[in-house]
Amino acid sequence: MIATDFTPWSAAIGGAMIGLSAVVLMATAGRIAGATGIFAGLFTGKYDDDFRWRFIFIVGLLAGAAISGWLVFDARDIAFAGGPALSIVGGLFVGAGVILGAGCTSGHGICGLARFSRRSLVATCVFMGIAIVTVIVTRHGLGG
Amino acid sequence: MKMLSVLIAGLLFGAGVTISGMVNPMKVLNFMDLPGLWDPSLMFVMGAGLVVTLVGYLLIFRRKAPLFDDAFHLPVSTMIDAKLVGGAVLFGLGWGISGFCPGPAIASLVFGNAESFYFVAAMALAMVLTKSMLARSAA
């Protein structure tokens, strides 16, 4: 466990950029800016127009991260909860969960809530709540 | 034009999850650690993201179609079922274990940490397997 600084300004600026991304994508392509749907749609084996916009979005996402890592974000701050095994288990749970639940933090938590979807409200409350309980139990034990 | 705007949306998304600190799993886990090392930053990410999207969507949905496509592609299901809730439970478990959700995990690949690669590879595999399982059970 490593403490991190409370950074309301960079958090709000970054959050607003994610929101702006969702607005641009809906206004121009009519698509939900959900990382799950966009990324998972790459693995259909078809390299058509649908594949193309998803691929370009992910390329932009990687480039946006690289550019801000170069200009403003210090990547040395990144710290993980555990090693490869934990990353693999976490990735398997997240990958299966977001497909079954049809969305993640961006698709349900931002885009879904912004269009008043009841499914997204339920999903967001559940995954947020379970994540909080999971962290409290793994860090502090069952006694909290 | 459509591909250019998609690229801009991708750039904004990648920059947003990086600048906000969501590419750092420790920061996300600290947000969830209410009784411990609580870092409320993520609340500001979600709050700002939601406000901008809410206002933007209200303006966009006054139109009949997006600028460079025939129609809006929106989810049609309104069912609150076991699949939705069970999926959200699984996702919450994985997010709470690792501190990564899909967008920031993919973005973090550019910082070259092995843990990011393991996470995204496992996530992609689970996505493909779960999708094919769902397709088979629907058929």
Report pLDDT for A144: 46
Q: Say if the Cβ atoms of A14 and B80 lie within 8 Å.
A: no
User: Is A141's pLDDT higher than 90?
Assistant: no
- In tens, the pLDDT along B86-103 reads 999 999 999 999 999 999
Per-residue confidence at A143, pLDDT binned at 50, 70, 90? Answer: low
Assess whether pLDDT exceeds 60 at residue B1: yes
User: Does B56 sit within 8 Å of A26, measured CB to CB?
Assistant: yes
In chain A, residues with a C-beta closer than 8 Å to the C-beta of B69 are 28-31
User: Which of B2, B41, B91 lies nearest to residue A104, judging by beta carbons?
Assistant: B91
Residues 6+ apart with CB under 8 A from A77: A4, B21, B24, B27
For residues B137 and B25, what is the distance between their CA atoms, to the nearest angstrom? 34
The answer, for B82 touching chain A at a CB cutoff of 8 Å, is no
Q: Percent of chain A at pLDDT above 90?
A: 97
Instruction: Tell me which residue of A84, A36, A54 sits closest to B7, measured CA to CA.
Output: A54
CB contact under 8 A, B6 and A115: no
- Residue B139: the pLDDT is 74
ipTM, two decimals, is: 0.96
Write out chain B residues lying below 8 Å of A46, CB-based. none
Instruction: Report whether pLDDT(B129) > 90.
Output: yes
CA A34 remoteness from chain centre: 8
Interval A22-33 mean pLDDT: 98
User: Is residue B13 within 8 Å of A64, Cβ to Cβ?
Assistant: yes
CA distance A81 to B28: 10
* Entry pTM: 0.96
The mean predicted confidence, pLDDT, of chain A is: 96
What pLDDT, on the 0 to 100 scale, is given for residue B138? 81
pLDDT tens digit sequence for B22-79:
999 999 999 999 999 999 999 999 999 999 999 999 999 999 999 999 999 999 999 9
